[in-house]
């Protein structure tokens, strides 16, 4: 996902969807950059608000992104769920 954002995306999706996509990518990128520190226990919670936010959202985002092919949801339901995840307060 981090490397797959399309340059034409901004021309074909509503601005809110684009904003949610960019916010999601930012959270995933933050987590990926800190993943080694997190996995070895070297990251201290509270030392970086962006990493703390990524840690709090990563589980739900991964579940959202792993929707099985046979499960079908209306686009608006998916957008609403992603919006809920991204807009969670810490």
Do 18 and 9 contact (CB within 8 A), yes or no? yes
The candidate with the shortest Cα–Cα distance to 21, out of 68, 66, 79, 88, is 79
Give domain limits for the chain: 9-86
Question: What's the CATH fold of domain 9-86?
Answer: Substrate Binding Domain Of Dnak; Chain:A; Domain 2 (1.20.1270)
pLDDT in tens, 19-68: 999 999 999 999 999 999 999 999 999 999 999 999 999 999 999 999 88
Whole-model pTM?
Answer: 0.85
Burial class (CB in 10 A: 0-12, 13-18, 19+), 3: exposed
**C-alpha–C-alpha distance, residues 8 and 19, integer Å:** 14
């Amino acid at each position: 996902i981090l490397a797959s954002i399309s340059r034409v995306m901004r021309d074909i999706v509503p601005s809110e969807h684009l904003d949610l996509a960019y916010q999601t990518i930012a959270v995933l990128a933050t987590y990926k950059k800190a993943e080694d520190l997190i996995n070895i226990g070297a990251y201290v919670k509270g030392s970086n608000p962006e990493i703390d936010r990524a840690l709090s959202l990563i589980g739900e985002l991964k579940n959202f992104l792993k929707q099985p092919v046979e499960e079908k949801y209306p686009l608006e339901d998916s957008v609403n769920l992603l919006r809920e995840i991204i807009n969670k307060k810490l």
